[in-house]
Structure 1
Amino acid sequence: MPRRGRVESAKVGPSGRVPLGIADGSDPFTEFTLEHRASLVRLAYVITGDAYLAEDLVQGTLIKAYRFWDRVSAADSPRAYVRQILVREHLSWRRRMSSREVVHPEPTILVPPLVTQLPDHSAREEAWHLLATLPPKQRTVLALRYFDDLSDEDIATTMGVSAVTVRTNASRGLATLRARLQQTKDYI
Protein backbone atom coordinates (compact mmCIF):
# COMPACT_ATOMS: atom_id res chain seq x y z
CA MET A 1 0.00 0.00 0.00
CA PRO A 2 1.52 3.38 -0.91
CA ARG A 3 2.24 5.90 1.79
CA ARG A 4 0.19 9.05 1.73
CA GLY A 5 1.46 12.54 2.44
CA ARG A 6 5.00 13.92 2.29
CA VAL A 7 7.47 11.87 4.25
CA GLU A 8 10.15 14.56 4.48
CA SER A 9 8.03 16.77 6.76
CA ALA A 10 6.68 13.97 8.91
CA LYS A 11 7.34 13.39 12.57
CA VAL A 12 9.04 10.10 13.22
CA GLY A 13 7.36 7.80 15.72
CA PRO A 14 9.03 5.90 18.60
CA SER A 15 9.88 3.03 16.27
CA GLY A 16 11.89 5.38 14.04
CA ARG A 17 9.39 5.02 11.21
CA VAL A 18 6.81 7.40 9.78
CA PRO A 19 3.27 6.17 10.51
CA LEU A 20 1.35 5.38 7.34
CA GLY A 21 -1.00 8.14 6.22
CA ILE A 22 0.03 10.64 8.90
CA ALA A 23 3.02 12.23 7.21
CA ASP A 24 1.99 15.88 7.28
CA GLY A 25 -1.74 15.94 7.98
CA SER A 26 -2.59 16.63 4.35
CA ASP A 27 -4.16 13.23 3.79
CA PRO A 28 -7.95 13.70 3.48
CA PHE A 29 -8.72 10.27 4.94
CA THR A 30 -6.53 10.95 7.98
CA GLU A 31 -8.18 14.33 8.47
CA PHE A 32 -11.62 12.70 8.19
CA THR A 33 -10.66 10.01 10.68
CA LEU A 34 -9.24 12.49 13.19
CA GLU A 35 -12.36 14.64 12.94
CA HIS A 36 -15.07 11.95 13.04
CA ARG A 37 -13.65 8.87 14.78
CA ALA A 38 -14.83 9.82 18.27
CA SER A 39 -18.43 10.41 17.16
CA LEU A 40 -18.39 7.13 15.21
CA VAL A 41 -17.17 5.27 18.31
CA ARG A 42 -19.91 6.84 20.43
CA LEU A 43 -22.57 5.88 17.87
CA ALA A 44 -21.14 2.36 17.60
CA TYR A 45 -21.20 2.07 21.38
CA VAL A 46 -24.85 3.09 21.56
CA ILE A 47 -25.70 0.58 18.83
CA THR A 48 -23.64 -2.35 20.17
CA GLY A 49 -23.80 -1.71 23.91
CA ASP A 50 -20.19 -2.87 24.22
CA ALA A 51 -17.12 -0.62 24.20
CA TYR A 52 -14.84 -3.25 22.68
CA LEU A 53 -17.29 -4.21 19.95
CA ALA A 54 -17.76 -0.51 19.21
CA GLU A 55 -14.00 -0.04 18.71
CA ASP A 56 -13.85 -3.12 16.47
CA LEU A 57 -16.86 -1.96 14.47
CA VAL A 58 -15.37 1.49 13.90
CA GLN A 59 -12.02 0.01 12.94
CA GLY A 60 -13.66 -2.28 10.37
CA THR A 61 -15.77 0.60 9.11
CA LEU A 62 -12.76 2.87 8.64
CA ILE A 63 -10.85 0.10 6.87
CA LYS A 64 -13.74 -0.32 4.45
CA ALA A 65 -14.02 3.47 4.02
CA TYR A 66 -10.28 3.67 3.29
CA ARG A 67 -10.52 0.95 0.65
CA PHE A 68 -13.26 2.91 -1.13
CA TRP A 69 -12.11 6.42 -0.17
CA ASP A 70 -12.50 7.78 -3.71
CA ARG A 71 -16.20 6.87 -3.63
CA VAL A 72 -16.66 7.97 0.00
CA SER A 73 -14.98 11.35 -0.48
CA ALA A 74 -17.02 12.03 -3.63
CA ALA A 75 -20.30 11.58 -1.71
CA ASP A 76 -22.39 14.61 -0.73
CA SER A 77 -21.67 13.82 2.92
CA PRO A 78 -18.71 11.51 3.58
CA ARG A 79 -19.70 11.34 7.28
CA ALA A 80 -23.18 10.07 6.36
CA TYR A 81 -21.64 7.57 3.93
CA VAL A 82 -19.29 6.23 6.62
CA ARG A 83 -22.12 6.16 9.17
CA GLN A 84 -24.08 4.06 6.66
CA ILE A 85 -21.14 1.66 6.37
CA LEU A 86 -20.97 1.43 10.18
CA VAL A 87 -24.67 0.65 10.59
CA ARG A 88 -24.73 -1.89 7.78
CA GLU A 89 -21.56 -3.56 9.06
CA HIS A 90 -23.17 -3.88 12.50
CA LEU A 91 -26.42 -5.32 11.18
CA SER A 92 -24.51 -7.69 8.91
CA TRP A 93 -22.35 -8.83 11.83
CA ARG A 94 -25.46 -9.37 13.97
CA ARG A 95 -26.99 -11.56 11.26
CA ARG A 96 -23.83 -13.66 11.04
CA MET A 97 -23.56 -14.02 14.82
CA SER A 98 -27.23 -14.73 15.49
CA SER A 99 -26.81 -18.42 14.74
CA ARG A 100 -23.84 -18.68 17.13
CA GLU A 101 -24.69 -16.10 19.76
CA VAL A 102 -25.68 -17.11 23.28
CA VAL A 103 -27.98 -14.52 24.80
CA HIS A 104 -27.35 -13.83 28.46
CA PRO A 105 -30.40 -12.87 30.52
CA GLU A 106 -28.64 -9.92 32.19
CA PRO A 107 -26.60 -7.97 29.59
CA THR A 108 -23.86 -5.84 31.06
CA ILE A 109 -23.33 -2.44 29.53
CA LEU A 110 -20.81 0.27 30.30
CA VAL A 111 -22.07 3.85 30.29
CA PRO A 112 -20.01 6.29 28.19
CA PRO A 113 -19.49 9.64 29.93
CA LEU A 114 -21.02 12.07 27.42
CA VAL A 115 -23.94 10.09 26.07
CA THR A 116 -26.75 11.03 28.38
CA GLN A 117 -27.65 13.61 30.98
CA LEU A 118 -30.06 11.68 33.16
CA PRO A 119 -30.19 13.04 36.70
CA ASP A 120 -28.62 10.15 38.59
CA HIS A 121 -26.38 7.19 37.95
CA SER A 122 -29.00 4.52 38.66
CA ALA A 123 -31.46 6.04 36.15
CA ARG A 124 -28.70 6.24 33.54
CA GLU A 125 -27.68 2.63 34.17
CA GLU A 126 -31.29 1.48 33.96
CA ALA A 127 -31.80 3.32 30.65
CA TRP A 128 -28.68 1.73 29.15
CA HIS A 129 -29.68 -1.70 30.42
CA LEU A 130 -33.15 -1.38 28.85
CA LEU A 131 -31.73 -0.09 25.56
CA ALA A 132 -29.34 -3.04 25.42
CA THR A 133 -32.27 -5.49 25.58
CA LEU A 134 -33.85 -4.20 22.36
CA PRO A 135 -33.42 -6.07 19.08
CA PRO A 136 -30.53 -4.68 16.99
CA LYS A 137 -32.65 -2.87 14.38
CA GLN A 138 -34.81 -1.14 16.99
CA ARG A 139 -31.74 -0.16 19.02
CA THR A 140 -30.02 1.13 15.87
CA VAL A 141 -33.03 3.23 14.84
CA LEU A 142 -33.33 4.76 18.32
CA ALA A 143 -29.58 5.43 18.47
CA LEU A 144 -29.59 7.17 15.09
CA ARG A 145 -32.74 9.13 15.93
CA TYR A 146 -31.95 10.29 19.45
CA PHE A 147 -28.17 10.09 19.62
CA ASP A 148 -27.21 11.23 16.11
CA ASP A 149 -30.32 13.44 15.55
CA LEU A 150 -31.16 11.96 12.15
CA SER A 151 -34.53 12.24 10.46
CA ASP A 152 -36.49 9.10 9.59
CA GLU A 153 -35.54 9.53 5.93
CA ASP A 154 -31.83 9.80 6.77
CA ILE A 155 -32.06 6.75 9.03
CA ALA A 156 -33.81 4.84 6.23
CA THR A 157 -31.02 5.74 3.82
CA THR A 158 -28.36 4.80 6.37
CA MET A 159 -29.94 1.42 7.13
CA GLY A 160 -31.06 0.65 3.59
CA VAL A 161 -34.73 0.33 4.53
CA SER A 162 -37.88 2.38 3.97
CA ALA A 163 -38.92 5.30 6.18
CA VAL A 164 -41.99 3.27 7.19
CA THR A 165 -39.72 0.50 8.48
CA VAL A 166 -37.77 3.09 10.47
CA ARG A 167 -40.95 4.47 12.05
CA THR A 168 -42.18 0.94 12.81
CA ASN A 169 -38.90 -0.02 14.49
CA ALA A 170 -38.84 3.24 16.45
CA SER A 171 -42.43 2.82 17.58
CA ARG A 172 -41.91 -0.80 18.63
CA GLY A 173 -38.63 0.00 20.34
CA LEU A 174 -40.12 2.89 22.32
CA ALA A 175 -43.18 0.79 23.24
CA THR A 176 -40.91 -2.00 24.48
CA LEU A 177 -38.84 0.47 26.50
CA ARG A 178 -41.98 1.98 28.04
CA ALA A 179 -43.36 -1.46 28.94
CA ARG A 180 -40.08 -2.63 30.46
CA LEU A 181 -39.67 0.62 32.35
CA GLN A 182 -43.19 0.21 33.74
CA GLN A 183 -42.42 -3.38 34.75
CA THR A 184 -39.30 -2.16 36.53
CA LYS A 185 -41.26 0.51 38.40
CA ASP A 186 -43.99 -2.00 39.32
CA TYR A 187 -41.33 -4.37 40.63
CA ILE A 188 -39.85 -1.70 42.89
Structure 2
Amino acid sequence: MEDDVGFREFVEARLVRLSRVAYLLTGRHHDAEDLLQAALVKVAARWRRVAATGDPEAYVRRVMYNERILSWRRWRRQVVQPAEGVPEMGPTADGADGVVSRILLERALARLTWRQRAVLVLRFFEDLSVAETAAVLGCSIGTVKSQTSHALGRLRTLAPELAELMTEPMEVARERVEGNAR
Protein backbone atom coordinates (compact mmCIF):
# COMPACT_ATOMS: atom_id res chain seq x y z
CA MET A 1 0.00 0.00 0.00
CA GLU A 2 2.83 2.38 0.90
CA ASP A 3 4.51 1.49 -2.40
CA ASP A 4 1.33 2.41 -4.28
CA VAL A 5 1.23 5.83 -2.65
CA GLY A 6 4.90 6.48 -3.41
CA PHE A 7 4.47 5.41 -7.02
CA ARG A 8 1.38 7.61 -7.46
CA GLU A 9 3.20 10.61 -5.99
CA PHE A 10 6.17 10.00 -8.29
CA VAL A 11 3.95 9.76 -11.38
CA GLU A 12 2.00 12.90 -10.44
CA ALA A 13 5.21 14.85 -9.91
CA ARG A 14 6.98 13.70 -13.10
CA LEU A 15 4.14 12.99 -15.54
CA VAL A 16 4.49 16.16 -17.64
CA ARG A 17 8.24 15.81 -18.13
CA LEU A 18 8.06 12.09 -18.86
CA SER A 19 5.22 12.71 -21.32
CA ARG A 20 7.33 15.24 -23.20
CA VAL A 21 10.25 12.83 -23.40
CA ALA A 22 7.93 10.11 -24.68
CA TYR A 23 6.52 12.48 -27.28
CA LEU A 24 9.98 13.49 -28.46
CA LEU A 25 10.91 9.83 -28.82
CA THR A 26 7.80 8.88 -30.77
CA GLY A 27 6.66 12.03 -32.55
CA ARG A 28 2.99 11.26 -32.04
CA HIS A 29 0.80 11.86 -29.00
CA HIS A 30 -0.98 8.52 -28.94
CA ASP A 31 2.31 6.63 -29.41
CA ALA A 32 3.84 8.70 -26.60
CA GLU A 33 0.95 7.82 -24.31
CA ASP A 34 1.33 4.12 -25.12
CA LEU A 35 5.09 4.27 -24.57
CA LEU A 36 4.80 6.03 -21.22
CA GLN A 37 2.03 3.71 -20.07
CA ALA A 38 4.06 0.61 -20.97
CA ALA A 39 7.08 1.99 -19.13
CA LEU A 40 5.07 2.92 -16.03
CA VAL A 41 3.44 -0.53 -15.93
CA LYS A 42 6.89 -2.13 -15.89
CA VAL A 43 8.16 0.28 -13.25
CA ALA A 44 5.08 -0.15 -11.05
CA ALA A 45 5.75 -3.87 -10.81
CA ARG A 46 9.26 -3.15 -9.49
CA TRP A 47 8.57 0.11 -7.67
CA ARG A 48 10.15 -0.87 -4.35
CA ARG A 49 13.51 -1.67 -6.02
CA VAL A 50 13.26 1.31 -8.40
CA ALA A 51 12.56 3.75 -5.58
CA ALA A 52 15.55 2.38 -3.66
CA THR A 53 17.88 3.39 -6.52
CA GLY A 54 17.49 7.03 -5.50
CA ASP A 55 16.74 8.17 -9.06
CA PRO A 56 13.50 6.56 -10.23
CA GLU A 57 13.04 9.11 -13.03
CA ALA A 58 16.27 7.97 -14.69
CA TYR A 59 15.07 4.38 -14.41
CA VAL A 60 11.73 5.24 -16.04
CA ARG A 61 13.52 7.09 -18.85
CA ARG A 62 15.75 4.06 -19.43
CA VAL A 63 12.69 1.80 -19.61
CA MET A 64 11.06 4.21 -22.09
CA TYR A 65 14.15 4.27 -24.32
CA ASN A 66 14.39 0.49 -24.23
CA GLU A 67 10.68 0.11 -25.01
CA ARG A 68 11.00 2.54 -27.90
CA ILE A 69 14.01 0.69 -29.28
CA LEU A 70 12.03 -2.57 -29.14
CA SER A 71 9.13 -1.00 -31.01
CA TRP A 72 11.51 0.46 -33.63
CA ARG A 73 13.00 -2.97 -34.14
CA ARG A 74 9.57 -4.59 -34.45
CA TRP A 75 8.39 -2.04 -36.99
CA ARG A 76 11.66 -1.22 -38.74
CA ARG A 77 10.26 -2.27 -42.10
CA GLN A 78 7.49 0.28 -41.83
CA VAL A 79 8.69 3.54 -43.35
CA VAL A 80 7.26 6.71 -41.89
CA GLN A 81 7.14 9.55 -44.39
CA PRO A 82 6.41 12.97 -42.96
CA ALA A 83 3.77 15.04 -44.68
CA GLU A 84 4.96 17.25 -47.51
CA GLY A 85 4.34 20.95 -47.77
CA VAL A 86 6.18 22.31 -44.77
CA PRO A 87 4.94 25.83 -44.10
CA GLU A 88 7.44 28.54 -44.92
CA MET A 89 8.99 30.32 -41.98
CA GLY A 90 8.57 34.05 -41.92
CA PRO A 91 8.45 36.76 -39.29
CA THR A 92 5.27 36.71 -37.25
CA ALA A 93 4.16 38.57 -34.19
CA ASP A 94 1.61 36.03 -32.98
CA GLY A 95 4.03 33.34 -31.78
CA ALA A 96 3.41 31.09 -34.77
CA ASP A 97 7.13 30.92 -35.45
CA GLY A 98 7.50 28.63 -32.43
CA VAL A 99 4.78 26.35 -33.77
CA VAL A 100 6.41 26.24 -37.21
CA SER A 101 9.80 25.51 -35.64
CA ARG A 102 8.28 22.70 -33.60
CA ILE A 103 6.61 21.19 -36.68
CA LEU A 104 9.83 21.39 -38.67
CA LEU A 105 11.78 19.82 -35.81
CA GLU A 106 9.24 17.02 -35.36
CA ARG A 107 9.31 16.18 -39.07
CA ALA A 108 13.10 16.23 -39.20
CA LEU A 109 13.37 14.07 -36.05
CA ALA A 110 10.94 11.57 -37.56
CA ARG A 111 13.38 10.98 -40.41
CA LEU A 112 16.37 10.19 -38.17
CA THR A 113 17.33 6.68 -37.12
CA TRP A 114 16.10 5.54 -33.73
CA ARG A 115 19.57 5.86 -32.20
CA GLN A 116 20.16 9.34 -33.64
CA ARG A 117 16.81 10.53 -32.35
CA ALA A 118 17.37 9.02 -28.90
CA VAL A 119 20.85 10.58 -28.66
CA LEU A 120 19.51 14.03 -29.54
CA VAL A 121 16.63 13.75 -27.08
CA LEU A 122 18.92 12.60 -24.28
CA ARG A 123 21.72 15.07 -24.97
CA PHE A 124 19.77 18.21 -25.78
CA PHE A 125 16.32 17.83 -24.28
CA GLU A 126 17.25 15.85 -21.18
CA ASP A 127 20.61 17.69 -20.85
CA LEU A 128 22.47 14.49 -20.13
CA SER A 129 26.23 14.36 -20.52
CA VAL A 130 27.87 12.17 -23.14
CA ALA A 131 28.72 9.60 -20.46
CA GLU A 132 25.18 9.61 -19.03
CA THR A 133 23.71 9.23 -22.51
CA ALA A 134 26.02 6.30 -23.22
CA ALA A 135 24.94 4.66 -19.96
CA VAL A 136 21.23 5.09 -20.74
CA LEU A 137 21.60 3.71 -24.27
CA GLY A 138 24.06 0.99 -23.28
CA CYS A 139 26.69 2.05 -25.81
CA SER A 140 30.13 3.63 -25.80
CA ILE A 141 30.92 7.31 -25.38
CA GLY A 142 32.39 7.32 -28.89
CA THR A 143 29.11 6.02 -30.30
CA VAL A 144 27.20 8.82 -28.57
CA LYS A 145 29.60 11.42 -29.98
CA SER A 146 29.45 10.03 -33.52
CA GLN A 147 25.68 9.59 -33.47
CA THR A 148 25.25 13.16 -32.18
CA SER A 149 27.45 14.48 -34.97
CA HIS A 150 25.68 12.43 -37.65
CA ALA A 151 22.24 13.37 -36.31
CA LEU A 152 22.98 17.10 -36.21
CA GLY A 153 24.43 16.92 -39.71
CA ARG A 154 21.37 15.10 -40.97
CA LEU A 155 19.08 17.64 -39.28
CA ARG A 156 20.98 20.42 -41.03
CA THR A 157 20.38 18.66 -44.35
CA LEU A 158 16.74 17.73 -43.70
CA ALA A 159 15.68 21.06 -42.23
CA PRO A 160 18.11 23.88 -42.97
CA GLU A 161 15.44 26.26 -41.62
CA LEU A 162 16.30 24.99 -38.14
CA ALA A 163 19.93 26.11 -38.32
CA GLU A 164 19.23 29.00 -35.95
CA LEU A 165 17.86 26.57 -33.33
CA MET A 166 21.10 24.59 -33.51
CA THR A 167 23.23 27.68 -32.89
CA GLU A 168 21.18 29.37 -30.14
CA PRO A 169 21.79 28.51 -26.51
CA MET A 170 19.91 25.30 -25.70
CA GLU A 171 17.57 26.89 -23.14
CA VAL A 172 16.41 29.55 -25.62
CA ALA A 173 15.85 27.00 -28.38
CA ARG A 174 14.00 24.64 -26.03
CA GLU A 175 11.71 27.42 -24.80
CA ARG A 176 10.99 28.53 -28.35
CA VAL A 177 10.11 25.04 -29.55
CA GLU A 178 8.25 23.97 -26.39
CA GLY A 179 6.61 27.32 -25.74
CA ASN A 180 3.55 26.56 -27.79
CA ALA A 181 3.30 22.91 -26.72
CA ARG A 182 2.27 23.81 -23.19
> What TM-score do you get using the length of structure 2 for normalisation?
0.75
SS of residue in 2 equivalent to 1:121: helix
Q: Which residue of the partner structure matches residue 98 of structure 1?
A: 76
Separation of aligned partners in 2, 1:140 and 1:132: 11
Separation of aligned partners in 1, 2:69 and 2:104: 24
Separation of aligned partners in 2, 1:131 and 1:145: 14
Percent identity (aligned): 34
| Displacement after TM superposition at 1:130 (Å) | 1.0
The correspondence for 1:125, drawn from 96, 103, 123, is 103
Change (3 A) 1:177 1:63: same
Structure (1 or 2) with the larger CA radius of gyration: 1
Q: Which residue of the partner structure matches residue 141 of structure 1?
A: 119
Change (3 A) 1:107 1:50: farther
Q: Write 1 or 2 for the structure with the bigger share of helix.
A: 2
Mind listing any 5+ residue stretches in structure 2 that lack a counterpart?
A: 85-94, 164-182
CA contact (8 A) 1:156 1:162 kept: yes
**Structure with more relative contact order (C-alpha pairs < 8 Å, separation 6 or more):** 2
> What TM-score do you get using the length of structure 1 for normalisation?
0.73
Q: Write the mapping of 1:1-188 to structure 2, written as runs, cut at 5 A.
A: 4=1, 21=4, 27-99=5-77, 101=78, 103-107=79-83, 119-182=97-160
Instruction: Give RMSD over aligned pairs.
Output: 2.4
Separation of aligned partners in 2, 1:68 and 1:143: 25
Mind listing any 5+ residue stretches in structure 1 that lack a counterpart?
A: 6-20, 22-26, 109-116
